[in-house]
């Protein structure tokens, strides 16, 4: 009996991923998910209280896995004062995320309007901004360049958009690893880092 219940719950979960991925949170109806899972709408509510509860079951774990390390790293950097290579450390995690939970990740970022996760992208950018700010630290020639918060925000936004583009156009693990390495290399060493 438990196997049957777990199987029904997994069917609802997978159907929800497909429907939310196509239509986003706001336009998806529980009826659509139930039909895709070949069950009654009433039965879906036996497993998930409502549509947002179901959406949270899909994107909540991804949100936690992404947000917590970024926020912790930003706090740690301001406390200890020396930068770390957060993104290089997270490369394996990002690749694993793209291979197994890419749809969930894109739902979190692109399709969560109307849920408690609708600001996830902004939160990720904010944490990334703090990391980049600490990472660049004293490396920037402030006599030559006037640097402000908007500059760090632009860098963070562009970096996250780069990650999202890799996720959206994913062509397999090797391709993603190469693209992520190029993106991260660009952010750490700049265009001059590609020179021989």
Residue 191: pLDDT over 90: no
Mean local confidence (pLDDT), 62-82: 70
Q: 12-48 burial, b if ≥16 CB within 10 A, otherwise e?
A: bbebbbebbbeebbeebebebbbebbebeeeebeebb
Mean local confidence (pLDDT), 89-107: 84
Decide if 77 contacts 83 (C-beta within 8 A): yes
pLDDT confidence bin for 170, thresholds 50/70/90 = very high
Give the pLDDT confidence score for residue 97 in this predicted structure: 85
Give the pLDDT confidence score for residue 94 in this predicted structure: 84
Q: What is the pLDDT of residues 115-154, one digit of tens each?
A: 999 999 999 999 888 887 877 766 776 777 778 889 889 9
Give the pLDDT confidence score for residue 72 in this predicted structure: 72
Nearest partner of 21 among 36, 9, 10, judged by Cα: 36
Give the pLDDT confidence score for residue 192 in this predicted structure: 46
Q: What is the pLDDT of residues 18-44, one digit of tens each?
A: 999 999 999 999 999 999 999 999 999
Mean local confidence (pLDDT), 104-109: 93
Give the pLDDT confidence score for residue 193 in this predicted structure: 46
Give the pLDDT confidence score for residue 136 in this predicted structure: 73
Mean local confidence (pLDDT), 178-182: 90
Mean pLDDT of the chain: 84
Rounded (10°) angle between helices 91-110 and 51-80:
130
The span from the CA of 67 to the CA of 96, in Å, is 16
Mean local confidence (pLDDT), 106-115: 95
């Amino acid at each position: 009996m438990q196997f049957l219940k777990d199987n029904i719950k997994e069917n609802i979960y997978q159907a929800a991923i497909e429907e939310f991925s196509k239509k986003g949170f706001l336009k998806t109806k529980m009826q659509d998910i139930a039909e895709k899972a070949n069950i009654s709408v009433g039965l879906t509510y036996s497993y998930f209280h409502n549509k947002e509860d179901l959406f949270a079951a899909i994107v909540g774990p991804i949100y936690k896995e992404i947000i917590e390390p970024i926020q912790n790293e930003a706090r740690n950097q301001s406390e200890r004062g020396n930068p770390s290579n957060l993104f290089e450390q997270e490369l394996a995690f990002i690749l694993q995320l793209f291979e197994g939970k890419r749809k969930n990740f894109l739902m979190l970022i692109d399709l969560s309007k109307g849920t408690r996760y609708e600001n996830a992208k902004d939160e990720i950018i904010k944490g990334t901004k703090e990391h980049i700010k600490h990472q660049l630290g004293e490396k920037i020639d402030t006599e030559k360049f006037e640097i402000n918060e908007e500059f760090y925000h632009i860098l963070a936004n562009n970096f996250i958009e780069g990650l999202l583009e890799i996720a959206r156009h994913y062509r397999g693990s090797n391709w993603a690893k190469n693209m992520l390495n190029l993106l991260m290399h660009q952010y750490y060493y700049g265009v001059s880092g590609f020179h021989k």
